[in-house]
Amino acid sequence: MTIKILDGYALNPGDLSWEEIETLGDVTVYDRTLPEQVMQRAAGADVLLTNKTRLDGEVLRALPGLKYVGVLATGYNVVDVDAARQLGIAVTNIPAYSTASVAQMVFAHLLTITQRVEYYTDANRKGRWSACADFCYWDFPLTELSGKTMGVVGLGNTGQATARIAQAFGMHVKAFTSKHVGDLPAGITKESLDELFRTCDVVSLHCPLNDETHHLVDARRLSMMKPTAILINTGRGPLVNEQELAHALNAGVIYAAGVDVLSEEPPRADNPLLKARNCFITPHVAWATREARERLMHIAADNLRSFLAGNIVNNVAG
């Protein structure tokens, strides 16, 4: 069994082991694969594992020996699953491996915005506190989360984990979700999308990206928000119209935003959010705790092991 991993570096930059997958076949790991290298590197593979390297229909049709594609992520839009289905190629993904880590990042951003710990640490290293006339100082509003309202857009695994943490902080939680009101976890109020944006102090995005949610956050919805409101996006970059969010931040329409994902990654140098007022950006690392990556690696091996035993799990190609 020939197994080729097309872009293994993000999952395993050297602190994990491929050993569990190596027990299943002859493994070749490429740190990164450019589009023009895909055909050459994928040739002869029975199994391809990919995170962000695209496998379109043309590539899949040129690989007659390919039996299985394992996506090393939850989102699987990098693979033409329709073509895979027609060709009889199994495609699997890795669901729910990073739930706790992504929910944790939501609050890393939220606490960064409300407390500015890193800002004050840096200022104090430069002597700011030592030169202060008073016993304390602050340059930004300090906000207590208890009593504020968190709006969660999408109440899947990560949305529910985020809601639980919000409740632990003493926040009220509203959710926009397809779930029936009777099926909501205790303490969560179901709300329309527009009403959620109008009434919440924090809005956190956890919905899938599709035609209906593309640019779900645009100038119209941003204008509904409180001027003190905070937007958090750890979901998918294109959920947000980045130009319109940048304008809203710079104009003071909303107070701040914390984002871990952008519409193009890595971003162009002229992405408007990179220089927007009160916009805090992390480089798509909410998923990347060691614990989450270890979990991903184990599930990827289990997916492949199940396939080899004749039982496809986490199948996304139908």
Active site members: 236, 265, 284
DSSP of 10-66, one letter per residue?
Answer: TT-SSSS--HHHHTTSEEEE-S---GGGHHHHHTT-SEEEESS--B-HHHHHT-TT-
CA 25 to chain centre: 31
Strands 2-5 and 256-259: unpaired
Q: Determine how many CB atoms are found less than 10 A away from the CB of residue 204.
A: 28
CA atoms of 143 and 102, how far apart (whole Å): 22
167: its two tokens = 């409740």
- Residues counted in the chain: 318
Q: What is the spatial distance between Cα 164 and Cα 217, in angstroms, rounded to a whole number?
A: 24
